[in-house]
Amino acid sequence: MSKNKLYLFIIAACLTGFSYLFYSIHYSKSTSLSLCMVKNVTGYPCPSCGTTRAIQLLLKNNWMASLQMNPFGILVALLMVVLPLWIVSDTITKKETFFNNYQKAEAIIRTKKLAFFLIILVIFNWIWNIKKGL
């Protein structure tokens, strides 16, 4: 993926995430609509179910409840803040630090042992979400 496509994708994903977070905080209390296609089709939560609620708990400074809701929430919240700032910084300084680090991280994650470990973590989180009844 080219640098520009990656930067646009990350910015669009973060803006979408911020928009959904804003919507969920202000408007979704009156509806039981779930955007999770896995849960809507199967009735079971996906590995990322509860991430929005976990971020909302973080915004209320309730770290432990956020971690219990879905550990991915803390990671996603951190990425939603750091990545756009890093991309803006690269754009202003005309550097490619984010892109270069992304390529290095992607190469590391693609190693079989680490990829297997990360997949196992996602599966455990999925099982945990199902047992919690998200």
Tell me the two tokens of residue 47. Answer: 């590995």
pLDDT score, position 123: 94
Left, alpha or beta for 133 (phi > 0: left; psi -120 to 50: alpha)? left
What's the Cα-to-Cα distance from 72 to each of 1, 3, 88, 92, 132, rounded to whole Å? Answer: 25, 26, 24, 30, 15
Which two three-digit tokens encode residue 2?
């080219």
132 within 8 A of 126, measured Cβ to Cβ: no
Residue 109 · residue 118 · CB < 8 Å = yes
Q: What is the pLDDT along the chain (134 residues), one digit of tens a residue?
A: 899 999 999 999 999 999 988 888 877 665 556 677 888 888 888 888 889 889 999 999 999 999 999 999 999 999 999 999 999 999 999 999 999 999 999 999 999 999 999 999 999 999 998 998 88
Residue 32 DSSP label: -
Q: How many CA atoms lie within 13 A of 64 on its CB side?
A: 0
* pTM of structure: 0.80
| DSSP 8-state symbol, 44 | S
